């Protein structure tokens, strides 16, 4: 292969109660990475679109190429030369798993270019290195679902233990991105290092309820379990109109609503596309009433994860 | 009806990672309660067997009759007279849900005597009052499974939200009760009120893993998820030989092993009765090597919960 074009979807991490352990992929948007072999050894970034010039252009500083460099080092490959183009199709610092989508598309593209020496599961830890660059910690709740698709649970980080659970067919995601920005590092920094035992128990109950609700296709249980007593009360302070937007989603048919990743995007899950749309329009209108522009995405759950779009 | 005899099974609460939210019932042992109508209004305890005279004989102080009094009050019944006999078939303060089994058998018996005015689900909160008498807090992780059977998740206490999840057919429980006693109130007292966010995340991952593992019948995932980083490290200090007994269980085929409820009983889950037996014998031998007598129970998961044994 001389040329690969790969797509990796946006993702919703945390999913209300599952801080750092839950994430799911949506169908769109997603980032696209192109890699093309060149004669001169080394990885260079040829072009980045859609980032308004904000991402680093040096290969050793950009998540998309850092993951490639890690993978090449792991495989002992020193003579490969390639040019990388990254098409950012979602905003930076949006809570939609932007850096994860770039890193995953990058690692899938280079692996395909090399004839797939590694499996999807094996690619995970390389993609996580991209997250370390972006947020300071190598979490997997965005890269996991972006790479593998579906609803993903990270049972453990050391050792890494990740698995997928089935979701009901009729589950749809609404994702509303207000035109403000939160730095992921800041969003982590404001969290307390200690949690009350009482809140830990409440959160565990909701984690158990959400897993069982998804696996049983019990929409009421999913709805009752989409409660976050630990992270949302702290992080939501950073998102103007959060409580009103959440109320609008719930009052307009959503099963539940919370912060997507570290925000500022807000997601809702609904039964059926029509409810997802109704909730989304109400959420967008609530932001608009407060003078905040926002972008609305409606999508089913992406079951396949990252894909290769073109090969040459 | 003039006479009812009811059985309620022993239970394993917490189940490693699920402090206060998980519990399951086993087939035996279990407590038996007899209620017989008498002419004189009021509830009296006629006899208690198997408790070495340690349980209170006053109806307003014993869990088994307290739950009956609560239920009668709720129903507005003031003229019922009955004599209650309680057969304790498991030791007090054992971590086998002893007080829960008595309370559940009591509430099921009196409800049956009255012609079942309440459903099983409705009986739950009355049975929880028995737990409040015994342990100082009305938790549901023993009474829930003893009443309803199966593997029970308490998603929320306020409001009470409890549901069952399926378990694989080939899952067996080993329960070893060493001949020492722990007071449930003490076992709660030594717990810290704060948990690190890191441990909360780890515990949530295991909660999600155990629910998914049970529902998928994925024994490896069940095994990997039976990890408690919050409660077991603290409470196990109260149980002599805990680490050695746990090691013996794991080394002899158990999927996982932890404290049953607040201890001192130790439970293991295994795939197949033969592994459950092998693990149990190794656990019992480990206690014996340290000079501690213990009682071994082997059982499948009880799917039905409390039952009425006789009616007259």
DSSP class of B159? T
Q: Are strands B307-311 and A42-49 parallel, antiparallel or unpaired?
A: unpaired
Q: Are B267 and B257 in contact (CB under 8 A)?
A: yes
Q: Is A138 one of the annotated binding-site residues? A: no
Residue A241 CA to residue A156 CA, distance in Å, equals 34
Catalytic residue numbers of B, as ranges: 131, 184
Q: Inter-chain contact B204–A204, Cβ cutoff 8 Å?
A: yes
Pull the structure tokens for residue B73. Answer: 């009050």
Q: Which residues of A touch B (CB under 8 A)?
A: 17-22, 153-156, 161, 163, 165, 191-198, 200-209, 211-212, 215-216, 221, 224-225, 230
Q: Which CATH class is domain A3-165+302-311?
A: alpha beta
Q: Which two tokens stand for residue A1?
A: 């292969």
Interval B29-75: pLDDT, tens: 999 999 999 999 999 999 999 999 999 999 999 999 999 999 999 99
Is residue A29 reached through a cis peptide bond, with omega within 30 degrees of 0 on the bond before it? yes
pLDDT the model gives residue A186: 74
Contact state of B161 with A195 under an 8 Å Cβ cutoff: no
Pairwise CB contact (< 8 Å): B155 & A221: yes
Contact A162, A153 (CB under 8 A): yes
CA angle A241, A246, A250 (to 5 degrees): 150
Structure tokens at A212: 């069982």
A184 within 8 A of A137, measured Cβ to Cβ? no
Q: Hey, what are B140's tokens?
A: 């549901």
Chain B CB contacts of A193 below 8 Å: 196-198
| Residues contacting residue B265 through CB under 8 Å, at least 6 positions apart | B94, B95, B96, B175, B176, B177, B178, B259
When CB atoms are compared, the residue of A21, A192, A196 closest to B205 is A21
CB B252 within 8 A of CB B259: no
Q: Can you count the helices (H) and strands (E) in chain B?
A: 10, 12
Selected residue of B18, B23, B200 to mutate for chain A interface (largest A Cβ count, 10 A):
B200
Residues of A designated catalytic? 131, 184
Helices (H), chain A: 63-75, 98-113, 120-135, 143-148, 184-189, 197-216, 219-225, 232-235, 242-251, 273-289
Cα-Cα-Cα-Cα torsion B208, B211, B215, B219, nearest 10 degrees, comes to 90
CB distance B42 to B133 below 8 Å:
no
A205 contacts B197? CB cut-off 8 A: no
Per-residue pLDDT of chain A (312 residues; tens, 9 = 90+): 899 999 999 999 999 999 999 999 999 999 999 999 999 999 999 999 999 999 999 999 999 999 999 999 999 999 999 999 999 999 988 899 999 999 999 999 999 999 999 999 999 999 998 888 877 777 899 999 999 999 999 999 999 999 999 999 999 999 999 998 776 667 777 888 999 999 999 999 999 999 999 999 999 999 999 999 999 999 999 999 999 999 999 999 999 999 999 999 999 999 999 999 999 999 999 999 999 999 999 999 999 999 999 999
A99 and A130 in contact (C-beta within 8 Å)? yes
- Chain A closest CA to B202's CA: distance in Å? 6
Contacts of B21 in chain A (CB under 8 A): 201, 204-205, 208
Cα-based angle A276, A281, A285 (whole degrees, multiple of 5): 150
Burial B154-172 (b: 16+ CB within 10 A, else e): bbbbeeebbbbbbbbeebb
Helices B197-216 and A197-216: angle between axes, nearest 10 degrees: 30
Q: What is the pLDDT of residue A182?
A: 73
| Cβ distance of B196 and A195 shorter than 8 Å | yes
Per-residue pLDDT of chain B (312 residues; tens, 9 = 90+): 899 999 999 999 999 999 999 999 999 999 999 999 999 999 999 999 999 999 999 999 999 999 999 999 999 999 999 999 999 999 988 899 999 999 999 999 999 999 999 999 999 999 998 888 877 777 899 999 999 999 999 999 999 999 999 999 999 999 999 998 776 667 777 888 999 999 999 999 999 999 999 999 999 999 999 999 999 999 999 899 999 999 999 999 999 999 999 999 999 999 999 999 999 999 999 999 999 999 999 999 999 999 999 999
B42-49 and B81-87 beta bridge pairing: parallel
Lookup result for tokens 């790479």: A147
CA–CA gap between residue A26 and residue A18 (Å, rounded): 17
Residue with tokens 């003490």: B186
- Out of B153, B193, B204, closest to residue A203 by CB: B204
Coil, helix or strand at residue B278: helix
Give B40 to chain A, closest Cα distance, Å: 45
Q: Which chain A residue has its CA at the smallest distance from B207's CA?
A: A208
Domain boundaries, chain B: 3-165+302-311, 171-300
Any idea which architecture A171-300 has in CATH?
Answer: 2-Layer Sandwich (3.30)
The CA-CA-CA angle for residues A93, A98, A103, to 5°, reads 130
Residues A94 and A177: beta-carbon distance below 8 Å? yes
Cis status, amide bond into B260, omega within 30 of 0: no
Q: What is the ipTM of this complex?
A: 0.94
Q: Do B201 and A21 touch (CB under 8 A)?
A: yes
What SS3 state is found at A286?
Answer: helix
Instruction: Give the model confidence (pLDDT) of A8-33 as tens digits.
Output: 999 999 999 999 999 999 999 999 99
């Amino acid at each position: 292969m001389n040329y690969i074009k790969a797509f990796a979807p946006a993702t919703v991490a945390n999913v209300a109660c599952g801080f750092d352990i839950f994430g799911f992929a949506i169908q769109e948007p997603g980032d696209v990475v192109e890699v093309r072999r060149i004669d001169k050894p080394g990885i260079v970034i040829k072009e980045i679109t859609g980032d308004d010039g904000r991402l680093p252009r040096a290969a050793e500083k950009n998540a998309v190429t850092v993951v490639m460099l890690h993978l090449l080092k792991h495989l002992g490959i020193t003579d490969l030369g390639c040019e990388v183009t990254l098409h950012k199709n979602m905003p930076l610092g949006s809570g939609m798993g932007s850096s994860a989508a770039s890193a995953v598309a990058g690692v899938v593209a280079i692996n395909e270019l090399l004839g797939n020496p590694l499996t999807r599961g094996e690619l995970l830890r390389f993609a996580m290195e991209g997250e370390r660059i972006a947020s300071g910690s190598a979490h997997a709740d965005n890269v996991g679902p972006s790479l593998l698709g579906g609803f993903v649970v990270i049972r453990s980080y050391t050792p890494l233990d990740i698995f997928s659970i089935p979701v009901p067919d009729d589950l749809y995601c609404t994702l509303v991105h207000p035109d403000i920005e939160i730095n992921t590092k800041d969003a982590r920094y404001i969290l307390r290092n200690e949690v009350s035992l009482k809140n830990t128990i409440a959160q565990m109950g909701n984690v158990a309820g959400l897993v069982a609700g998804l696996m049983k296709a019990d929409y009421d249980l999913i709805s009752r379990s989409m409660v976050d007593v630990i992270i949302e009360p702290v992080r939501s302070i950073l998102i103007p109109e959060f409580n009103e937007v959440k109320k609008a989603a719930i009052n307009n048919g959503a099963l539940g609503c919370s912060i997507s990743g570290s925000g500022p995007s807000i997601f809702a899950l609904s039964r059926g596309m029509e409810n997802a749309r109704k909730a989304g329009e109400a959420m967008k209108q609530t932001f608009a009433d407060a003078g905040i522009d926002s972008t609305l995405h409606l999508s089913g759950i992406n079951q396949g994860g990252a894909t290769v779009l073109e090969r040459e």
